[in-house]
Structures are given as C-alpha cells and as structure tokens.
Structure 1
Amino acid sequence: MNETSINLLLQDLKNSDEAVRDQATEELWRIWFTQKGVAGFQMLQRVQGLLQAGETTPAETILTDLIEAMPDFAEALNRRAVLYFLIGDYQKAIADCQAVIRLNPIHFGAHHGLGLCYAAIGDHHKAIQAFREALKIQPFAIQNQRLILECTAKLS
C-alpha cells in the first residue's frame, strides 16, 4: 500500500463518523499483519493460536525467529511485545514497543501498548505521554483518554 493510501486512512481515523474510523482502523491492522505476505501473516496467526492456548514459550520462539528473519516486520515485534506484556515482562515489552514505533511511527497499537507497560511499572508520566502519542493518531480512542485520566489521578 502506498503512502497516499496510508495518509487517507490516517485522516479517516480522525473522522467524526465512527464507522469510517472503524474501517480505517481495521484496514491499518490488516496492512500491518500482512506486511510480509501470506507467510508472515500465517506465522502471526499461528502465534495467536499458541497464545490463546497459553503456550507462551513456543509463541515467543516463533516470534523471535520471525523477527530475526524479518527485522523490519513491525507487527511481529508488536505481537512479541503483547506476549511479554501478558507474562509481565514489561521491560522487554517496552523495548519491543519502542522498536515497533521506530519502524512504524503511526502504529497506535504500539503507542497504546507502551503506555500500558509504563502504567504497569508505575511510570505514569511516561504512560501518559505514550497514550497521548496514540491519541494524536487516533483522537477518538476513548480507552486512551480514560487511561490518561487514570494515570493522571495516580500522580496526585
């Protein structure tokens, strides 16, 4: 997908029509998951199945191998960040979220995930900053707005 199409989707994320925003969000996720074609997508699906079954070790191995083979596959890094978050390894999750953002600065999921990690370790200032970055991309994301309020309340 070309830059013009991505920019149109980013504009749609700011549309007042929820259906337009939802469609743009879904399309961006599709683009990110299929960045490396069918093979990459199938590996991410396999990992998702393992995570749903609670099989974190083989999921981590597959993701790490995938990242080594395709170091620019941002969604593989993002999926591993999710895995690390789920098992409570927040520092590794933070590192992976930051790597995703370096590869794909508009990845609202990685910004959101980064905020969740910082909140989990009690760094509410950095959490707020990450949620605000996500809101710059998806200004109608109520969850990020709510999390900013929760983190702000914890600072008082």
Structure 2
Amino acid sequence: MDDASIIDPLLEALKNPDEKVRNWATQELWKHWFGQKGVYGLQLLEQSQALVQAGKTEQAEALLSEVIEAQPDFAEAWNRRAVLYYINGQYQKSLTDCEMVVKLNPVHFGALHGMGLCYIALGNYGEAIRALRRALEIQPYAIENQRLILECTAQLS
C-alpha cells in the first residue's frame, strides 16, 4: 500500500465537521509520521523524548542529529529536533528544521504550526500568518492556528 492511499483519506478526514473524526485522523497521521522508519526509528524518537523529559536536552539533540544524519529523509526526526530547538528558544534553528520537515512532508501541519510559532517569536508576523494559513489549509478546524493568525494580524495593524 503506498503512502498516498494511507495519507489522503486521513487528510480528507481533517476537514470533517465531526470532531471525533478529525481527532482520529490527527492521531493516525502522527502515528504514521512517527512510524515512517519502522520500530527502530520510533524507538529512537521515543528515546529522544525521554531524554527531553529528563532534562537531558543536549543528549536528545545529539541523538536526533545522529538520526537525521543517518536518515535525512526522516521528517519526524527533523520535526522532533525543531520542537527541541523551539523549547530552548533557538527559533532560527527550529525554523530551519521545520522548513526541512515541510520540504520532506508538505502536509505536516505540526511543522507548519511550528514555523508560525517561530516567526511569532522572531517578530515576523507576516510570515507567521502565511505559515499558519498553510497549516489551516490542511487542518481547517485548528482553533489555535486561527487564534494565532488573529493575534498576528493585530500585531501588524
């Protein structure tokens, strides 16, 4: 079964008015993205998350960087490192990783949301709005993105 036959129905379900359907589709997409490189890839992502939760962010960053070097097409490894950079206030590095995620997986609403957050942190509200609108095209019911767009628009006026 090819990726599109799995992903396309889930992307369509994100537009469903039923919140339960949207939540299910969101969870399934995350599962698919985390599982892109099989059980071993998933274990490495989980290991990096455990390091983050233990406050060992440098070790988590090193692990994710190793995974990315070994598997540069593993979009979720890039995304996990982008999240880590964002948490650490390294917004430009996070933005760069988010851009790579979107290059590898153009429908990754999480990375588009992350780009929006990075642009907000950097004070670039116009770019934040563009990234968040792209995320809303994929996930139109994402209230958080709608709220952030309104806040950015207010900052520009």
Q: TM-score normalized by structure 1? A: 0.98
Alignment of structure 1 residues 35-54 onto 2, 5 Å: 35-54=36-55
Distance 1:28 1:101 in 2: 14
1:120 counterpart letter in structure 2: A
Give me the whole-angstrom Cα distance separating, in 2, the residues matched to 1:53 and 1:151: 33
Partner of 1:133: 134
Q: Supply the distance in 2 between the matched residues of 1:6 and 1:33 (Cα, whole angstroms).
A: 13
**Paired-residue identity, %:** 61
Deviation, 1:53, is 1.5
Q: What CA distance in whole angstroms lies between the structure 2 residues aligned with 1:16 and 1:92? A: 36
Q: 2: distance between equivalents of 1:96 and 1:5?
A: 25
Aligned to 1:55: 56
Distance 1:101 1:22 in 2: 21
Question: CA offsets per residue over residues 36-86 of structure 1, 9 Å max, x none?
Answer: 001110010011111112211000000000000000000000000000000
- Give the corresponding residue for 2:17: 16
- 1:153 deviation in Å? 0.7
Give the 3-state SS of the residue equivalent to 1:42 in structure 2. helix
- Quick one: which amino acid aligns to residue 62 of structure 1? L
User: What pairs up with 1:7-156 in 2 under 5 angstroms?
Assistant: 7-156=8-157
**For residues 26 and 94 of structure 2, what CA distance do their matches in structure 1 show?**
22
Return 5+ residue gaps in structure 2 as ranges.
none
Q: How many residues align?
A: 156
Cα distance in 2 between the residues matched to 1:39 and 1:23: 24
Runs of 4+ in 1 over 2 A off after TM superposition: none
Could you give the per-residue CA deviations for residues 79-136 of structure 1, whole angstroms, max 9, x where no partner exists? Answer: 0000000001111101000000000000000000000000001000000000000000
State the one-letter code of the partner of 2:64.
L
Give TM-score, length-normalised by structure 2: 0.98
Structure 1: tracts of 5 or more residues without a match: none
* CA RMSD in angstroms, aligned pairs only: 0.7
The structural deviation recorded for 1:5 is 2.2
